[in-house]
């Protein structure tokens, strides 16, 4: 269709689309905003729209825009802040006890303890660890696997000895 016909098309179908959108959104302001968005989208593609299918095309755009709008709107919840004034303040989270882990790491052979230290406490990549220790990346991977296996066994054994499973 020609762009010159857009204004007459808009005035003849605007109320129909508005009523359709108000039925979907149940909000006058949202429906008005969506009508505007629909007709902006129609205007941008108006020359490609064929006259016999123009109205169904507009309804399809209106439906898609309304569904997108409602989906986004459903992500937000409006709550009364007065309800939250009497809630107790949360207590600070307890620090986990890593003493078993540190004891197990100190019992590892020095090379294995070094790769664990560099990987998890110094946050180094495998490449950085290999450069620091002067070994290949594959060797770092192998040492980490071995160290983790030994640590897992030690910690599980300590827990079993303490009666914690």
- Residue 137 has what pLDDT? 93
> Residue 123 is encoded by which pair of tokens?
């946050």
Higher pLDDT, 165 or 129: 129
Query: Among candidates 30, 13, 12, which has minimal Cα distance to 22?
Result: 30
What mean pLDDT do residues 20-43 have? Answer: 91
Lowest mean pLDDT, pick from 34-38, 71-75, 117-121: 71-75
Domain 3-73 has CATH 1.10.1740.10: yes
Spatial distance between the Cα atoms of 76 and 153, rounded to a whole number of angstroms: 47
Q: What share of the chain is helix, strand, coil (3-state, %, to 5)?
A: 75, 0, 25
Q: Which pLDDT band holds residue 165 (cuts at 50, 70, 90)?
A: low
Q: Are 55 and 46 in contact (CB under 8 A)?
A: no
Token pair for 158: 């300590």
Location of each CATH 1.10.1740.10 domain in the chain: 3-73
- Residue extent(s) of CATH 1.10.10.10 domains in the chain: 99-162
CATH class assigned to 99-162: mainly alpha
Q: For 60-96, how does the pLDDT look when each residue is reduced to its tens digit (9 = 90+)?
A: 999 999 999 988 887 777 777 777 777 787 788 888 8
Taking the C-alpha atoms of residue 38 and residue 47, their distance in angstroms, rounded to an integer, is 15
């Amino acid at each position: 269709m020609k762009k010159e016909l857009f204004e007459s098309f808009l005035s003849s179908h605007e109320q129909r689309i508005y009523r359709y959108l108000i039925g979907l959104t149940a909000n006058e302001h949202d429906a008005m905003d969506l009508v505007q968005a629909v007709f902006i989208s129609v205007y941008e593609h108006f020359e490609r729209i064929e006259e016999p299918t123009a109205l169904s095309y507009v309804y399809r755009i209106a439906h898609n825009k309304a569904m997108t709008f409602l989906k986004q709107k459903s992500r937000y919840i409006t709550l009364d802040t007065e309800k939250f004034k009497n809630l107790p303040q949360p207590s600070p989270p307890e620090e986990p006890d890593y003493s078993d882990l540190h004891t197990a790491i100190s019992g590892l052979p020095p090379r294995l303890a070094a790769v664990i230290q560099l990987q998890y406490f110094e946050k180094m990549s495998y490449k950085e660890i290999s450069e620091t220790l002067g070994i290949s990346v594959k060797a770092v991977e192998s040492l980490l696997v071995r160290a983790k296996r030994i640590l897992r066994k030690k910690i599980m054994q300590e827990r079993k000895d303490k009666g914690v499973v």
